[in-house]
């Protein structure tokens, strides 16, 4: 079933209004959200995503609804992983917690724009070049390997080199001036470290956009579902940052769960490419029909199972470490 046009337009309009409201709220009320406030906002966005999923099931059928749920969970998992690097960046730049909301919101807006661009490019590539699934699949397998065996500190270190390059060429103070991007020192206009933080977050967003878009295209090729799944995954990310806090760093096995999901979707994409093969030097340009097609239902089960096992294992490790320290 195709989704009604009025539903797609209406959904994007409502989501745009919610994002604008969240943006205004972050900049008009800079503060450190309480655990209760963060919990309520995160719960609101999760419930909103589930309501949207229900509408997808109703208007688009089981296939569309399942694709949205699987895509949303995949992107949400990657967004949580994004928080690891956000925490490192905020810590290294010593951004005052009161102004972290504003900086995070700018980072999320950059992420939305970048992912929107990548979605449009990805949709065009898929429509015109069926062999692109081979590239997406191999790329995700390589990304999964990096996810499992590369630390987030290594990613942040590469960003530090970019910031060092900027400091040599842009006048930048060492102190924050609230949430200001620019300030005046001895009569000279200068940038504050907020600029460096935003650039660091933007660089991170670019890396995660490159990783996440092929992953969700492995679940669905519907650009509307891909885009809305990304929006819902990023909505509430600011509040989730404050809700989880240092807990994110203690989920030591989470990156293995995410790596497994990326590897699974990578294999799924390669299988799909082989099943619809048109590349001349592979099987004479003919589809390899004995290769299995992995359905959305199985993908959903694997995604939920991988994240559940990784989270439970991390919590068990935390409890074991705590017991050892207390004893």
pLDDT more than 90, % of the chain = 20
Q: What's the rounded mean pLDDT across residues 114-128?
A: 86
What is the average pLDDT across 115-119?
Answer: 87
Indicate whether 111 pLDDT > 90: no
Domain residue extents for the chain: 5-326
**pLDDT (tens digit per residue) in 136-176:** 889 889 988 888 887 655 555 555 566 666 667 777 777 77
pLDDT in the model for residue 52: 95
Q: What is the mean pLDDT of the chain?
A: 83
Reported as a single tens digit per residue, the pLDDT across 62-98 is 999 999 999 999 888 888 777 777 777 777 777 887 7
Find out whether 47 and 280 touch, Cβ atoms under 8 Å.
no
pLDDT category at 184 given cuts 50, 70, 90 is: confident
C-alpha closest to that of 311 among 228, 248, 237: 248
Which pLDDT does position 164 carry in this prediction?
67
């Amino acid at each position: 079933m195709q989704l009604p046009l009025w539903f797609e337009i209406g959904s994007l309009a409502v989501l745009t209004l919610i994002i604008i409201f969240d943006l205004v709220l972050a900049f008009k009320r800079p503060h450190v959200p309480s655990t209760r406030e963060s919990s309520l906002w995160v719960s609101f966005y999760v419930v909103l995503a589930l309501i949207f999923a229900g509408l997808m099931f109703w208007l688009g059928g089981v296939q569309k609804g399942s694709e949205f749920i699987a895509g949303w969970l995949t992107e949400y998992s990657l967004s949580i992983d994004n928080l690891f690097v956000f925490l490192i960046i905020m810590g290294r730049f010593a951004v005052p917690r009161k102004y972290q909301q504003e900086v995070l919101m700018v980072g999320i807006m950059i992420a939305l724009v970048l992912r929107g661009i990548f979605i449009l490019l990805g949709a065009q590539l898929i429509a015109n070049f069926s062999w692109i699934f081979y590239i997406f699949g191999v790329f995700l397998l390589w990304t999964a390997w990096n996810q499992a065996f590369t630390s987030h500190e290594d990613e942040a270190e590469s960003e530090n080199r970019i910031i060092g390059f900027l400091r040599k060429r842009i006048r930048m103070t060492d102190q924050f001036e609230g949430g200001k991007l620019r300030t005046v020192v001895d009569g000279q206009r200068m940038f504050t470290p907020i600029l460096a933080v935003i650039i660091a977050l933007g660089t991170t967003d670019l890396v995660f956009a490159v990783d996440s878009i092929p992953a969700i295209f492995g679940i669905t090729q519907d650009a509307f579902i891909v885009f809305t799944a990304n929006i819902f995954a990023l909505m509430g990310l600011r509040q989730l940052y404050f809700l989880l806090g240092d807990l994110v760093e203690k989920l030591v096995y989470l990156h293995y769960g995410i790596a497994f999901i990326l590897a699974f979707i990578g294999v799924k994409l390669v299988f799909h490419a082989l099943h619809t093969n048109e590349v001349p030097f592979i099987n004479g340009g003919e589809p390899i029909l004995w290769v299995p097609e992995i359905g959305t239902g199985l993908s959903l089960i694997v995604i939920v199972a991988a994240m559940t096992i990784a989270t439970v294992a991390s919590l068990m490790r935390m409890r074991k470490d705590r017991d050892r320290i207390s004893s």
